[in-house]
Amino acid sequence: MIMLKQQCEQCNTPYGDLHRAGEDRLFACKDCGREACERCVEHEPSGPQTWFLRCSHCRGYSLEQRNLSERFSSYSSLSELKESRYAIAMLFVPKSVYSKRNETLIREAIPGLQEFNPSFFLLNENETSIRNAISGWFPSIGNPREATGNGAVIWFNAGQPVSILHGGPYLTELEILERSRTDWF
């Protein structure tokens, strides 16, 4: 399904940011037609452990819950990744501090790699097919049974995986730049 809206209509938070943060619930108001993320709907207490949700725009109670993952994804597929000449992919888990940290480092490093014009992809490490592919390419790092959440970074040249860095808390922008130049020259 094609998404026309790419951000919350109340706070303007991009859906990609909500999705990567693991915040998957959206609410559409049947009264005014606006769509809002869970952060923006008003939570009105109505007894012990019971809450009513209300539209913060029109104050209506007719909200329909929607699942962001069914309508939007910030993740790429392996087939998309293999179509790029030079690509950097990162294994992403929404609740992982390392994933968020390393995504920022990669996005900051990419302007320094303009001679290659690389594509950047996020791969959902919670998907079994992604974990199986990674563990097939890099058995010493990939874990087919569970997501590690360390924000591992993979370099692709002409659609083929050429190297991987573990990620975690010690990855630096300089390492990303050096590895890119080494793998792509």
Tell me the pLDDT tens digit for each residue of 101-142: 999 999 999 999 999 999 999 998 988 999 999 999 998 877
Return the pLDDT at 83.
87
Return the pLDDT at 139.
86
Assign 28 a pLDDT band (cuts: 50, 70, 90). confident
Cα–Cα dist 77/94, whole Å: 17
Of 129 and 67, the one with more pLDDT? 129
- Pairing state between β 51-54 and 42-45: antiparallel
Return mean pLDDT, the chain: 85
Domains of the chain, first to last:
15-71 (no CATH), 78-184 (3.40.30.10)
CB of 114 closer than 8 Å to CB of 177: no
Cα–Cα dist 90/167, whole Å: 9
For the cut 90, the answer to whether the pLDDT of residue 173 exceeds it is: yes
Alpha-helical (H) ranges within the chain are 15-20, 68-71, 78-81, 97-109, 128-137, 173-184
Return the pLDDT at 66.
84
- Please compute the mean of the pLDDT values over residues 51-59 and round it to a whole number: 82
Name which of 27-36, 61-70, 124-133 the model is least confident about: 61-70
- Please compute the mean of the pLDDT values over residues 42-50 and round it to a whole number: 71
Q: Please give the DSSP secondary-structure letter assigned to residue 7.
A: B
